[in-house]
Structure 1
Amino acid sequence: MQLPSALSFLVDEAIGVSGADGFVSQLGVRLIEDGLPLCGGALTQAAPHPIISRRTWLWRADTGRVVEALGIGLGEPDDTDHTQIGRNWLAELGTVFMQEDFVGGTPDCAVVIWAVTRPFSEPELNLLRQVARFAAAPLGVLTARSTLAALLETYLGRRSAAQVMAGRLRREPGETIRAALLYADLRGFTELSESVGSKEVIAALDAWFDRIAGAVHAFGGEVLKFIGDGVLAIFPIGERDAAAACDSALRAVTAARMGMDHLDRIRAAQGQPPLPFGTALHIGEMLWGNIGTADRLDFTAIGPAVNLVTRLEGLCRPLGRTVLLSGAFAAETTQPLIPLGTHVLRGIAAPCEVFAPQE
């Protein structure tokens, strides 16, 4: 006896589907092949993430397209019906039918909702009940994968998380990345940490990282490392050219400065000291890979470009500037700059031309 198309998919193929978007669209197509009157579907999964509480993938049968909607929720989970976004969207397509079977027996995992053009018949409902049973295993695997990916990205960053997920668990040279590099560091943080309580120190660090890392991400960059109170980020060159990467890096710095100015005003009103910082921008190649012991590894960035950008940031205080750019970076950006002469950087053989953005 031949299995219905949807059950055949769940038994033989679904475990290998890479993402929830592919799962909901392929399952929907197979159910239509089995005669079910679907016009859309939604799959909602819990998301163990510092900001995102739920992820929902919305599928339209007429176009085959899948779009993702995020449920934002900070703090402890509540009793909110996180499938509501799927219900509202599918209600525009047809009658909403909610699959009551949750993966793992709890709504904290996954739930599927279908939109139909007419009510289901009893045989169709029986098929959906079987689909719910057979979908539990592959959906459980998808949920576990997305949980692992979210946790790795939270603690390692997107680039490193992808390498860990791909099984790169040994010491190896890694990849060479050409990018605009950004290094930013708080000034006087040691003095601050010795003059206020630990909670105030952590709050100050979080506020600083929110603004600098948020600006980097907003303009297409990637934060590679938090180093004490410093941040190393890149704006990769590839899909965009060097000039575009450099301009994006400069815009990110401008946004971060505006955010920090606003934060300093808030801190001043609360009787707290400001959080001055320095930022350096450079362009070049860096090596990104695994280093460490045989059983304890870390991803790190090395190379002359990394050395230069960190040393260049050290000139911010003596030159009285918040942002400094290398000559190589200045040659690529389209933004107007102020030349500050040629300077010797500690540990760097060749003197470096230094520029600053116009205020």
Structure 2
Amino acid sequence: MQLSPTLTWLVDEARDMPGADRLLAELGAHLVEDGLPLAGGALTLAVPHPLIARRTWLWRAGSGEVIEALGFAPAGPAAALKANPSDDAGRRWLAGIADGLVHEDIVGLRPDGPALGWIGPRQFTDRETNELRQAARFAAAPLAVLAARATLTAVLEAYLGRRSAARVLAAPLRRDVGETIQAALLYADLRGFTALSESHPPSVVISALGAWFDRIAGSVHAFGGEVLKFIGDGVLAIFPVVGETPRGACDAALRAVSAARVGMAHLDKERHRQGLPPLPFGVALHLGEMLWGNIGAADRLDFTAIGPAVNLVSRLEGLCRPLQKMVLVSGALAAETEAPLIALGTHVLRGIASPCAVFTLPENWPVP
């Protein structure tokens, strides 16, 4: 049996496409070259992500443009879609996919898995429908590859963060594989969390942790940082230095702390209205080098950051309570920023050989 150029491409090359958007666009272009009357196409993949339930790509035959729409969980499918389709055809696609409907001019949709469909300027003939369905069957293998790749990436990003996930995917899965990087480090944790855990039911404690992590991690991500670890009620995050000087990373870390402070203040007001105690916290910032990579047992690895800089920032955070400050900044980071920091003197940190110059932020320092 002689395969058409489109089916040959699906067998030999489609699995090497860099992403679902390119596969959809290339497949649509091949089908148009075969003489099929296509106005557009859509491809939907389920995503095991904490927030995103599925990703949909919409292709326009006229321009070759591909746009993306996200379906969010746990809201209902139709209500949860967020997109910016360029015309009514895009909206029609979104509504059809969200509701699991197959219109008379769409073939190949599978609401229970990867969904591939096409829309034409008119209803497809029986011959055209058969050709599109045959292409959908041959697309099953490359779609499975794309879905598996998307699943792996989404899971790693959810548990490791985007930068760390990319490093894990690119490097060998072996112990002691990593690199030394310079970064602004942030370490933060809640005050009185043990007492909160012992005096409230688990559901309340988990809700409080989620609210705290939303504010601190959200602020880190908003300013280009990445959370490396959730350690009990603590957070370790980094702002890698990019370029010749570390100032950008240091300023981003300071802005993230300021944003988290504002967010937690609003959260405490809401908790007060609910009759719940506030969630005081401490946070420390430091600039230094760290080893970023794989550690662990021979067959059980963790991707994390280790080194003197990590030790120092965690010890510095321990001074927040005795110094009665919410934010502490090391002298190393203070030297790389023009933020209006307040000097608190030099302090000995437990387990750290050299004393550390310590600074803090003004109470009302705004997010720039």
TM-score by length of 2: 0.86
Q: Which residue of 2 aligns with 1:250?
A: 254
Deviates more, 1:289-298 or 1:205-214: 289-298
Which of 192, 199, 204 aligns to 1:195? It is 199
Q: Which residue of 1 aligns with 2:98?
A: none
Report the Cα offset of residue 224 of structure 1.
Answer: 0.5
Superposition pairs of residues 127-166 of structure 1, within 5 angstroms? 127-166=131-170
Q: Which residue of 2 aligns with 1:275?
A: 279
Report the Cα offset of residue 250 of structure 1.
Answer: 1.5
Matched, 1:99 2:103: no
Report the Cα offset of residue 39 of structure 1.
Answer: 4.4
Matched, 1:301 2:299: no
* Secondary structure class of the residue paired with 1:98: coil
Q: Which residue of 2 aligns with 1:331?
A: 335
Report the Cα offset of residue 57 of structure 1.
Answer: 1.6
CA–CA separation in structure 2 for the residues paired with 1:269 and 1:91: 46
Deviates more, 1:192-201 or 1:240-249: 240-249
* Secondary structure class of the residue paired with 1:130: helix
Provide the aligned length of Structure 1 versus Structure 2: 353
CA–CA separation in structure 2 for the residues paired with 1:82 and 1:203: 23
Report the Cα offset of residue 113 of structure 1.
Answer: 3.4
**Contact map agreement 1:44 1:55 (CA 8 A) in 2:** yes
Report the Cα offset of residue 9 of structure 1.
Answer: 1.4
CA–CA separation in structure 2 for the residues paired with 1:115 and 1:2: 27
Report the Cα offset of residue 239 of structure 1.
Answer: 6.0
Which of 294, 303, 318 aligns to 1:314? It is 318
Structure 1 residues 34, 81: CA separation in 2 closer, same or farther (over 3 Å shift)?
Answer: farther
Q: Which residue of 2 aligns with 1:266?
A: 270
Deviates more, 1:112-121 or 1:11-20: 112-121
CA–CA separation in structure 1 for the residues paired with 2:203 and 2:351: 36
Structure 1 residues 240, 127: CA separation in 2 closer, same or farther (over 3 Å shift)?
Answer: farther
Q: Which residue of 1 aligns with 2:116?
A: 112
CA–CA separation in structure 2 for the residues paired with 1:83 and 1:278: 37
Residues 128-179 of structure 1 show CA distances to partners (whole Å, capped at 9, x for unaligned) of 1211110112112211221222222222332343344346322124122221
Report the Cα offset of residue 242 of structure 1.
Answer: 2.1
* Secondary structure class of the residue paired with 1:340: strand
CA–CA separation in structure 2 for the residues paired with 1:82 and 1:263: 25
* Secondary structure class of the residue paired with 2:139: helix
The alignment yields a C-alpha RMSD, in angstroms, of 2.8
Matched, 1:36 2:36: yes
Q: Which residue of 1 aligns with 2:130?
A: 126
CA–CA separation in structure 2 for the residues paired with 1:185 and 1:31: 56
Which of 200, 225, 233 aligns to 2:229? It is 225
* Secondary structure class of the residue paired with 2:350: coil
Structure 1 residues 248, 79: CA separation in 2 closer, same or farther (over 3 Å shift)?
Answer: closer
2:306 maps to amino acid: I
1:192 maps to amino acid: L
Structure 1 residues 336, 111: CA separation in 2 closer, same or farther (over 3 Å shift)?
Answer: same
CA–CA separation in structure 1 for the residues paired with 2:81 and 2:27: 18
Structure 1 residues 163, 3: CA separation in 2 closer, same or farther (over 3 Å shift)?
Answer: same
Which of 235, 238, 243 aligns to 2:239? It is 235
CA–CA separation in structure 2 for the residues paired with 1:87 and 1:115: 15
Deviates more, 1:61-70 or 1:347-356: 61-70
**Contact map agreement 2:106 2:118 (CA 8 A) in 1:** yes
Deviates more, 1:61-70 or 1:306-315: 61-70
1:339 maps to amino acid: A
In structure 2, stretches of 5+ residues that fail to align are 94-102
**Contact map agreement 2:294 2:304 (CA 8 A) in 1:** yes
2:347 maps to amino acid: H
Q: Which residue of 2 aligns with 1:67?
A: 67
Q: Which residue of 2 aligns with 1:3?
A: 3
1:248 maps to amino acid: A
In structure 1, stretches of 5+ residues that fail to align are none
**Contact map agreement 1:40 1:93 (CA 8 A) in 2:** no
Report the Cα offset of residue 41 of structure 1.
Answer: 2.6
CA–CA separation in structure 1 for the residues paired with 2:67 and 2:198: 49
Q: Which residue of 2 aligns with 1:15?
A: 15
Matched, 1:51 2:51: yes
**Contact map agreement 2:242 2:249 (CA 8 A) in 1:** no
* Secondary structure class of the residue paired with 2:115: strand
